[in-house]
Chains A and B, each alone.
Chain A
């Protein structure tokens, strides 16, 4: 489907058009947007992990000059509806401000509105809240105990979800297998932590009945959710999509922030803005990622063929349920990874605790699951004395077996895993890498090779919603594009969501240029507001190359067809005799007979008498795209076609650890990458590299750790450690292209796989390094302090 040189603009190393505004500091970030008379919000937060709010005294705060209002949770709860959640848990309501009870340290209790942010912060310190401390629970397993304090009394337990799926003959396969192995893997609480915090400005116009919203948002159905919560028609919510989002990677879902400032702006009659500071962002912004405990059991034979797997995943979603428990559902679409495991039992459990609320994070739960799978595969290799690459080769789906349906019902579209591995090893000799590892060991270092494969399900067919909540019957996740050629022939295309660095304007321009055979720079790409948009999602689920790229492709194809019909009619020939090339339409039988772009525009805009019968004048076409392979509800036995496409990565890492300090250092990093047809190589490379950097953080440095009193310990970048240029090594990416049969250009998603594979690869490398000491670690992040202590203890034991 896609060979090198097959395309004119697609796959060529073109610049990214968005970059020009960013390099001069002219991005349109939410904090840069100044609406006249805007007032600022600062928040009063609860200092305890669980507390009843007895009283709130705002008099001292309101007495400060420049302070306009202090809003508490009771007033807000009376005026708005609870926020939308994913699971059917009506007794776990979520609101922007705590109502009666606060459920985590840092939860927002009141909002102060003042002339400046500094004044609002001053006033927030003067709000006096009387609390009654309540018992709390932080640990997911403790939250399941019958004696545990309840985070939400009315719900009756801390359990939000407990669902077991059995796909295939699990018991039979386990009974028939000569070998079994079990493993406990823990993924620590971290997140994407964009450098821009979340921000939103809401401005209510009471004479037009319109709430204008500018936000650094990445939230599907954002306007719907605002309207529902504020009890306004969605036609009164105007979300401005031309706001540049300073990084998101999943988490910028700020619905509670938006409902808060939306209410305040209506109540007070001026624009209200809330730009989180870093503490609000990390503690009360409700943007933590998964914290998940896995118990994995596999049954396999002496050759290392894994027949069956049982996985229990226990997720600590924090104090409230948003969309986050669905992150246990998305991995079902790739529950066996790239391996031919024929039966699976999967138990997904989500509990609430008195920690910060979770949000969607890059990969939507797939990265933790991938660590569990890949650690387990490595352990199988270890007990059998097999090479970790060899065991993967033996278990992986072979190229000729695609399309391949996994036990949970999803059919993988295409892949060539063995070839990708071969290409990586042709680039970097495995034998030499092992020699290099052994040489490091001989120097007294601990050194290990880490192998990890991973799949990146892409396309965003979010069928985990219906799978985990039968009340949801959504089977479409649309995206759209409109292309208009104006009366003098310029092209303007639209997209209908915000972006957070993915280069979507470049994507749309490139695809339209490809179809119309015109320089992509000729196509301007704009973002109308939500009231002028076509149905669209957001950049979730690695879907935009597939869905926005697909919508742009189909819209451009419709435009081309219309131009061809106009040209044929004007040439007086049958439509099938006309051909389109480079913006012109010509007669196949007499190529000198042609209508140029300007002629076609002239006819469409001014010469209706030259138009084909029954054709609309003007040149504007649109396409709303359904997800490929989508449209089907899960079966009664819990099988579902999740995402349409699966990208593949193979990580090969050499890592050394200073045995005295426990400090790991990545010596070599290679990754084989196959996301089908690459639309823009610069973008795909950046996504891959950025994902790996993010994965290094999750594997080694980043954790929202809590102390025993329920206080978040990582409240600043002094404690929550983001990888700097020193921590991210040079990575060599080895590309392969296995096109998807389901997409217009053979493209697949590429925004997540670096993050899905790197933590598993690093965990495997560290365990390979620790093996000579007879120890292993399966709890991420693997921090220097933990590693140093483990190594010291193991050495002491050896000496004894």
Chain B
């Protein structure tokens, strides 16, 4: 069947089977391979994308269900070739990853958190990423990355003598 999707701000029309998951559609049909298949049953979170700004598991929904909503993938939060978003840069600064497999999903989850809560506590960060399993890091440097990104984003576009 032919469906219309809004992916990273672009209108895309694709041919999928009704049973095709959004994850498979993103990866196989649209070539957006930043979303990863980890468990394909909604636990590990490696397939996370933003669905109207909310972090969701793209392995648990059909591509057809994404019609009419704005989907953002890791490719959509990267500002441009060779550039990094503040969250992406913070993950590099703290080395909030090792193998990099869960990383795009973790970063999208962080984007969703910080869009609604610019000054999260450690507990709020831990809660936000608790649906994204990282097997490498033990999470410490991920939590620090998100806190660092939050701090930098709060400071962006402010006069330097402004109160934090």
Query: A residues touching B (Cβ–Cβ < 8 Å)?
Result: 15-16, 18-27, 29, 31-32, 118, 192-197, 244-249, 275, 277-278, 500-503, 682-683, 685-687, 689-694, 716-718, 722, 724-726, 728, 730-731, 754
Q: Which chain A residue lies CB-closest to B46?
A: A195
**In the complex, what residues of B have CB within 8 A of residue A717's CB?**
39, 41, 43-44, 133
11 pairs, CB–CB < 8 Å, chain A vs chain B: A16-B92, A19-B95, A21-B100, A25-B34, A25-B78, A31-B37, A118-B19, A501-B98, A682-B95, A686-B95, A692-B138
Expressed in whole angstroms, the Cα–Cα distance for A767 and B34 within the complex equals 44
Evaluate contact between B92 and A195: CB separation under 8 angstroms: no
Evaluate contact between A23 and B38: CB separation under 8 angstroms: no
**A689-B138, A716-B41, A731-B140 known; A195 and B133 CB under 8 Å?**
yes
Contact of A25 among B33, B131, B142 (CB under 8 A): B33
- For the complex formed, measure the closest distance between the CB of B116 and the CB atoms of chain A, giving whole angstroms: 18
**A22-B100, A686-B141 known; A118 and B17 CB under 8 Å?**
yes
Contact of A277 among B40, B103, B131 (CB under 8 A): B40
Evaluate contact between A716 and B43: CB separation under 8 angstroms: yes
Evaluate contact between A194 and B141: CB separation under 8 angstroms: no
Expressed in whole angstroms, the Cα–Cα distance for A31 and B59 within the complex equals 15
- Contacting residues of chain B (1-48) with chain A, CB-CB under 8 angstroms: 17, 19-20, 24, 27, 32-41, 43-44, 46
- For the complex formed, measure the closest distance between the CB of A383 and the CB atoms of chain B, giving whole angstroms: 34
- For the complex formed, measure the closest distance between the CB of A281 and the CB atoms of chain B, giving whole angstroms: 9
**A278-B38, A724-B131, A724-B133 known; A685 and B141 CB under 8 Å?**
yes
Evaluate contact between A726 and B126: CB separation under 8 angstroms: yes
- For the complex formed, measure the closest distance between the CB of B96 and the CB atoms of chain A, giving whole angstroms: 8
Evaluate contact between B139 and A20: CB separation under 8 angstroms: no
Q: With a 10 A CB-CB cut-off, give which of A197, A275, A689, A731 has the most chain B CB atoms.
A: A689
Query: B residues touching A (Cβ–Cβ < 8 Å)?
Result: 17, 19-20, 24, 27, 32-41, 43-44, 46, 73-75, 78, 84, 88-89, 91-95, 97-104, 107, 122, 126-127, 129-143
Evaluate contact between B126 and A690: CB separation under 8 angstroms: no
Contact of A728 among B24, B36, B75, B139 (CB under 8 A): B139
Q: Which chain A residue lies CB-closest to B141?
A: A686
Evaluate contact between B135 and A716: CB separation under 8 angstroms: no
**In the complex, what residues of B have CB within 8 A of residue A754's CB?**
138
**In the complex, what residues of B have CB within 8 A of residue A692's CB?**
138
Q: Which 9 A-B pairs have the closest CB atoms?
A: A25-B34, A22-B100, A246-B101, A501-B98, A501-B99, A689-B138, A693-B138, A717-B43, A682-B95
Expressed in whole angstroms, the Cα–Cα distance for A320 and B95 within the complex equals 39
Expressed in whole angstroms, the Cα–Cα distance for A197 and B137 within the complex equals 18
Q: With a 10 A CB-CB cut-off, give which of A195, A196, A247 has the most chain B CB atoms.
A: A195
Evaluate contact between B101 and A23: CB separation under 8 angstroms: no
Evaluate contact between A15 and B92: CB separation under 8 angstroms: yes
Evaluate contact between A23 and B126: CB separation under 8 angstroms: no
Evaluate contact between A25 and B74: CB separation under 8 angstroms: yes
Expressed in whole angstroms, the Cα–Cα distance for A767 and B130 within the complex equals 28
**A24-B78, A717-B41 known; A725 and B98 CB under 8 Å?**
no
**In the complex, what residues of A have CB within 8 A of residue B84's CB?**
20, 23-24
Expressed in whole angstroms, the Cα–Cα distance for A374 and B35 within the complex equals 42
Contact of A501 among B34, B100, B127 (CB under 8 A): B100
Evaluate contact between B97 and A725: CB separation under 8 angstroms: no
**A247-B101, A683-B95 known; A196 and B38 CB under 8 Å?**
yes
Evaluate contact between B99 and A194: CB separation under 8 angstroms: yes
**A693-B139, A717-B44 known; A27 and B92 CB under 8 Å?**
no
**In the complex, what residues of A have CB within 8 A of residue B36's CB?**
29, 31, 195-196, 246
Contact of A27 among B20, B35, B101 (CB under 8 A): B101
Q: Which chain B residue lies CB-closest to A246?
A: B101
**In the complex, what residues of A have CB within 8 A of residue B126's CB?**
725-726
Evaluate contact between A278 and B41: CB separation under 8 angstroms: yes
**In the complex, what residues of A have CB within 8 A of residue B37's CB?**
31, 275
- For the complex formed, measure the closest distance between the CB of A699 and the CB atoms of chain B, giving whole angstroms: 14
- For the complex formed, measure the closest distance between the CB of B71 and the CB atoms of chain A, giving whole angstroms: 14
Contact of B97 among A22, A249, A277, A685 (CB under 8 A): A22
Evaluate contact between B140 and A730: CB separation under 8 angstroms: yes
- For the complex formed, measure the closest distance between the CB of A31 and the CB atoms of chain B, giving whole angstroms: 7
**A24-B88, A716-B41, A717-B39 known; A731 and B138 CB under 8 Å?**
yes
Q: Which chain B residue lies CB-closest to A683?
A: B95
Evaluate contact between B138 and A690: CB separation under 8 angstroms: yes
- For the complex formed, measure the closest distance between the CB of B19 and the CB atoms of chain A, giving whole angstroms: 7
**In the complex, what residues of A have CB within 8 A of residue B140's CB?**
685, 689, 728, 730-731
Evaluate contact between B41 and A20: CB separation under 8 angstroms: no
Evaluate contact between B103 and A22: CB separation under 8 angstroms: yes
Evaluate contact between A694 and B135: CB separation under 8 angstroms: yes
- For the complex formed, measure the closest distance between the CB of B83 and the CB atoms of chain A, giving whole angstroms: 9
**In the complex, what residues of A have CB within 8 A of residue B27's CB?**
31-32
Contact of A16 among B19, B38, B95, B102 (CB under 8 A): B95
**In the complex, what residues of B have CB within 8 A of residue A718's CB?**
41, 43
- For the complex formed, measure the closest distance between the CB of A194 and the CB atoms of chain B, giving whole angstroms: 6
Q: Which chain B residue lies CB-closest to A716?
A: B41
**In the complex, what residues of A have CB within 8 A of residue B130's CB?**
724-726
Expressed in whole angstroms, the Cα–Cα distance for A716 and B42 within the complex equals 10
Evaluate contact between A690 and B98: CB separation under 8 angstroms: yes
**In the complex, what residues of B have CB within 8 A of residue A730's CB?**
122, 140
Expressed in whole angstroms, the Cα–Cα distance for A26 and B93 within the complex equals 18
Expressed in whole angstroms, the Cα–Cα distance for A455 and B95 within the complex equals 26
**A23-B88, A195-B44, A724-B130 known; A18 and B19 CB under 8 Å?**
no
Q: Which chain A residue lies CB-closest to B145?
A: A23
Contact of A18 among B34, B100, B129, B131 (CB under 8 A): B100
**A194-B99, A682-B94 known; A728 and B135 CB under 8 Å?**
no
Expressed in whole angstroms, the Cα–Cα distance for A731 and B131 within the complex equals 21
Q: Which chain B residue lies CB-closest to A33?
A: B33
Evaluate contact between B17 and A690: CB separation under 8 angstroms: no
- For the complex formed, measure the closest distance between the CB of B78 and the CB atoms of chain A, giving whole angstroms: 5
